[in-house]
Each structure stands twice: as C-alpha cells, then as structure tokens.
Amino acid sequence: MKTIILRVSILALAMLFLDNCATPPKAEKEAVPKKPEITIQIASINLANFSKRIERNNITELVKILKSEQVEILAVQGISRYPGVSSRVDFVNELSSKTDWRNAFGEMQNISGRQTGNAIFSVYPLLSHQNFSWDAVRSTSFEAALQATVDAGARSVIVVSTQLPPKATSREQAQCLKMITALNPDTANQLLIVAGNMPTDEIIRTTNSFAEVPPHESVKSITSRIWYSASTSLQMLTTRSVETALGTLVIAQFGVLRQQKH
C-alpha cells in the first residue's frame, strides 16, 4: 500500500513539474517612460527683417506675451542697437529691465553707430557665453552665432541664437551646422538647442543629429526655427507660435531628464 501511495505521489510531482515547464513565462512589463526632472519653455524671434523703428511699447507688449506664455529662455536674432543714441530704445536693455532676466549679446556688425547682433535672455543663470562668426564660410558678410550655457537646475543646456548667411549654399549651411555641433563635444550628456534662420534641408539637420520643433499649422512663414539635439535626455513636449508686433514668436516646451550617473 505504501508503495502504491509513493508511486502516485511521484507521478503527481512529475505532472506538476511538466505543467510548470509548459507554462510560458510572463511577459515583461513595458518600461515606463521616465518623467522629466524639469521642463523649460524656450522661445525665439528674428528681428532681422523688421523694418520699422522698435518703440518702448513694442517691447512692453512682447514682455506681456513672454510672461503669459511662461517663457523662460528667449533667443533673438538680428537685433539693431544704437549705443549712445538716447532717442533710440535699446532692445536688450529695455527687455532686461522689464523682466530682470539675465542676458548675453553677441555682436555681428558695428558701423556708423549702428550695432547688430543676436541675444539670449534667461530666467536661469548664464554660466558662460561666447560669440563666433562664420569666417570660414565664403558667402558670409557679418552673420554670427551666440552660444550660452544655461544652468537650468537639474541639467545645463547650451543655447545658440544664430543668424546664418542668407545666401549660403547647402554645403555652406552644412558647414555652419558642423561648427555649431562642435560646441557640444559630449553629445550623450550635453543638451543643445539652436534657434535662428535654420535651413529647411532635412538632410543637413539629420546629418548633424538634430530634431526640429515642428512649425504650427497657422504659421505661413517662419523666420526663426528651433532645432534641438536628438538626445534621450531632451524631450520636445509642446510647440506653438504667437504673432507679435515684432514678428512670429516660436515657443517650445522641453522636458529635461537628469543626467544618469555611470
């Protein structure tokens, strides 16, 4: 009798073992997307083709829009300044005084008291900034790029406000983009956002590992585009545009992930 019970027990255990082996393993849960450590709102506007005189009320209205849209970093291209001329409103000084934002200005040209350049404004501290021109590009006249490293808290972000040579060939545009890309030696960890009259050639953009903030459907023509490094640490969340008296303001919200420690 004991022998029969033992054999039945062994048979039951064997059947249980085979049943467990036949059961397919449970599918692994899909990875949950990481939430951004912080979000930043960046905007860009190009004043190069603005032919009228900029008045104080134009800047006041722009500041209202920036605050309403909760913009934290602003890239501006093609600014005209008239140092020492009291009758002309200084765009950089006026906007900074109305917002208390930090600013960096990069000169492109200074002739007969008229100074042109690009600027970056930020609610965050600017750790460093530098200005460089397209001297190696044949079609350039006075265009340049301003680069600033912004301390956004969880991560630092490199922001570039640039005016590319408007008559540059595709090869020259690619040359300019290579120079901008070189500002980001650590592409895996450093985040790069570029704003300005960027080319529409998708090959140039993707070759330099950039993604583009898509323009809003209502915008017929864009004079300032926003590109960003195609990094898993930088996520484009939303985009929109606002028409102002000074031109189209392109706005993008990015999610920034904390840098992973190795």
Q: What is the pLDDT of residues 83-139, one digit of tens each?
A: 989 899 999 999 999 999 999 999 999 998 899 999 999 999 999 999 999 988 888
Quick one: pLDDT at residue 130? 95
Res 37 pLDDT > 90: no
Question: 187 CB contacts (<8 Å, ≥6 apart)?
Answer: 209, 229, 231
For residue 262, the 8-state DSSP code is -
Reported as a single tens digit per residue, the pLDDT across 239-256 is 999 999 999 999 999 998
Q: Which of 4-18, 32-46, 175-189 has the lowest mean pLDDT?
A: 4-18
CATH of 38-256, one of 3.30.70.980, 3.40.47.10, 3.40.50.10800, 3.60.10.10: 3.60.10.10
Torsion of CA 182, 185, 189, 192, to 10 degrees: -20
Number of residues that make up the chain: 262
pLDDT at res. 188: 59
The pLDDT of residue 235 is above 60: yes
Model's pTM, two decimal places?
A: 0.84
- Under the banding of pLDDT at 50, 70 and 90, the label for residue 6 is very low
Domain boundaries, the chain: 38-256
Determine the pLDDT at residue 91.
97
The pLDDT assigned to 5 comes to 47
Q: Would strands 234-244 and 247-256 be described as parallel, antiparallel, or unpaired?
A: antiparallel
Distance CA 89, CA 100 (A): 17
Alpha helix locations (H) across the chain? Answer: 2-22, 56-68, 91-99, 170-181, 202-207
Q: What is the pLDDT of residue 36?
A: 81
Hey, how many other C-beta atoms are within 10 angstroms of the C-beta on 262? 4
Q: Return the bridge partners of 116, or none.
A: 80, 109
Q: What is the mean pLDDT of the chain?
A: 85
Pick from 228, 249, 196: nearest CA to 78: 196
- Is residue 81 within 8 Å of residue 117, measured between CB atoms? yes
Tokens at 231, concatenated: 């990094």
Distance CA 154, CA 151 (A): 8
* 120's tokens: 């970056």
Q: How many percent of the chain have pLDDT more than 90?
A: 56
Comparing 77-91, 93-107, 164-178, 217-231, which segment has the lowest mean pLDDT?
217-231
- Supply the DSSP symbol for 165: -
252/37: higher pLDDT: 252
Question: CA nearest 71: which of 107, 35, 95?
Answer: 95
pLDDT at 8: 45
